[in-house]
Structure 1
Amino acid sequence: MSNTKVGAVADERPEPPTAGLTIVPRSGRFRWVPVVIVLFLAAMLTESVLLNPRFEWPLVASYFFSPAILHGLATTVWLTVLCMTLGIALGIVIAVSRMSDIPIVSGFARLYIWFFRGTPILVQLIFWYNLAALFPELGFGIPFTGITFFQANTNHIVTPVTAAILGLALNEGAYMAEIVRAGISSVDDGQNEAARALGMTRLKAMRRIILPQAMRVIIPPTGNETIGMLKMTSLVSVIALSDLLYTAQSIYSRTFETIPLLLVCCCWYLLLTSVLSVIQGRIEAHYGRGIVRAGG
């Protein structure tokens, strides 16, 4: 009897308003209009770039693999790799310190992030380059005792290379600290509790449990930061470090071939950022494999 009532109630349910209606796809009558506009603009841009003799493309090709340009390119690449590696390592330390239960440690981490994110990177580079104006001598010893174990001339230590590494790496460490902290926070607290229940120390749990799971969140912004670091290295030209841009500037200051040399820089930067984008995509796919399978 109850089954009959349930069936009757089910049969009496009102039909949805769209029942019996025929779905007609939207007319594509004007879909060709934006395509034509884009093709038209692309043709105009291509003509103005390729056929304009002032771009001097043959001269660009002649400089593209010149020894001086390749030497500057090598400086840009190794500076990017080194500063990004130091920035990531420093960012992990600062992120863990900021999440510490010790107020002095977390306060220092917050102060570090506040300062290096709050001041322009160009100002930081110039500051490190002129550090000798504040401290003519750099030393290491016991504070307030006058005992010094090591002392040297600041200009001998803080060269343009050292200033570039300090400025870029310390600045990147502040941004990476926030990225790593966001990644760690995205991992469920139960993972940390389970690791502690298994007898793992906090450092071991962070290294084996938390960070591997946080990589899925950390990798995409880290890839963007790496691409940004590659372009940010061009700022070291203001402290006379022979990177790609500084080398190009040195050449066109003698030959007055400004546009061709700047185009050479643009082409190399575009090529390198494209390679980094492909690598970033591969790494993201690697760490996102579990998510893809779960979603499929």
Structure 2
Amino acid sequence: MDFDWNIFTDALTSSAFMHGALLSIALAVASMIVASLIGFVVALLRISSRRVATAVGGAYVWFFRAIPTLLVLLLIWNAGPQLFPALRESWFTPFIAALIGFSVVEGAYMAEILRSALLAVDDGQHLAARALGLPPHKVLFKVVLPQAIKVAIPPSGNELIAMLKYTSLASVISLRELLTTAQAQVSVTFRYAEYYTAALVYYLVIVSALMIAQHAIERRYRWVSNGRVSSSDASVRVEVPA
């Protein structure tokens, strides 16, 4: 078997691979944060009682779930500067383009996750909070949202793991993330097995760490949901206006 372990270990410990891995993590996390914010707004539109808002939210979800992420990246990076002169400036880097592309696409999926989580909260919670005199925005942020987050954590964690793997698509717009780093070394040395295996190990380690963190967060929320919290953890309360 023609597998050079020295090349493999050098790749694992190289600064280029470490930088590529950190860039992939940063892109995945930043995209998920922005996508969650987009998804929250779209989810509120989707559950709104106003038909126009519901239609706008539904159109967003339909549009970005219908087109491939790779096509979105190519449109933003290649067609964007053609149509919008502001995108021809130096600030518009491959990282920014990838962040925008992944965020708007993932926002559609997060919208459905958050919509389902918000609808999973019993209507009695809404009615009880309103009966106490809480205004709608406080009902949402102090009563409904904390419970919806517990429902949304498992699928959101899965989306973050998927997002980390999707960052490899950014290679088409010249972003030097983990897979692009491996491909650059392969193009010079033609040592496919060593460099691709090194990238595989990085992905396995990162995803394993994310899965451990996800399970820990889920256990924490199940612990709180079952009422097994200490007195120091039970300090969250809803303030009822006088």
Task: Measure how far apart 1:216 and its partner are.
Answer: 2.3
Partner-residue secondary structure (3-state), 1:54 = coil
Partner-residue secondary structure (3-state), 2:111 = helix
Could you say which residue in structure 2 is the equivalent of 1:170? 104
Could you say which residue in structure 2 is the equivalent of 1:208? 142
Could you say which residue in structure 1 is the equivalent of 2:57? 109
Aligned positions of 1:127-276 closer than 5 A: 127-132=75-80, 134-137=82-85, 152=86, 154-156=87-89, 158-276=92-210
Could you say which residue in structure 1 is the equivalent of 2:235? none
Task: Measure how far apart 1:133 and its partner are.
Answer: 6.2
Could you say which residue in structure 1 is the equivalent of 2:240? none
Structure with greater proportional helix content: 2
Alignment pair present for 1:77 and 2:25: yes
Structure with greater proportional strand content: 1
Task: Measure how far apart 1:70 and its partner are.
Answer: 1.1
TM-score normalized by structure 2? Answer: 0.89
Report the number of matched residues.
227
> What does the per-residue CA deviation read over 1:265-296, in whole Å, with 9 as the maximum and x for residues that have no partner?
100000000000000001101111245569xx
Gaps of 5+ in 1: 1-52, 138-151
Could you say which residue in structure 2 is the equivalent of 1:12? none
Identity of matched residues, % = 39
Partner-residue secondary structure (3-state), 1:69 = helix
Alignment pair present for 1:125 and 2:73: yes
Could you say which residue in structure 2 is the equivalent of 1:99? 47
Task: Measure how far apart 1:136 and its partner are.
Answer: 4.1
Work out which of the residue numbers 3, 7, 15 in structure 2 matches 1:67.
15
Could you say which residue in structure 1 is the equivalent of 2:218? 284
Could you say which residue in structure 2 is the equivalent of 1:25? none
Task: Measure how far apart 1:57 and its partner are.
Answer: 3.0
Task: Measure how far apart 1:210 and its partner are.
Answer: 0.7
Distance in 2 (CA, whole Å) between partners of 1:249 and 1:108 is 41
- Rg larger for: 1
Task: Measure how far apart 1:110 and its partner are.
Answer: 0.6
Alignment pair present for 1:57 and 2:5: yes
Task: Measure how far apart 1:55 and its partner are.
Answer: 3.4
Letter in 1 for 2:53: V
Task: Measure how far apart 1:124 and its partner are.
Answer: 0.8
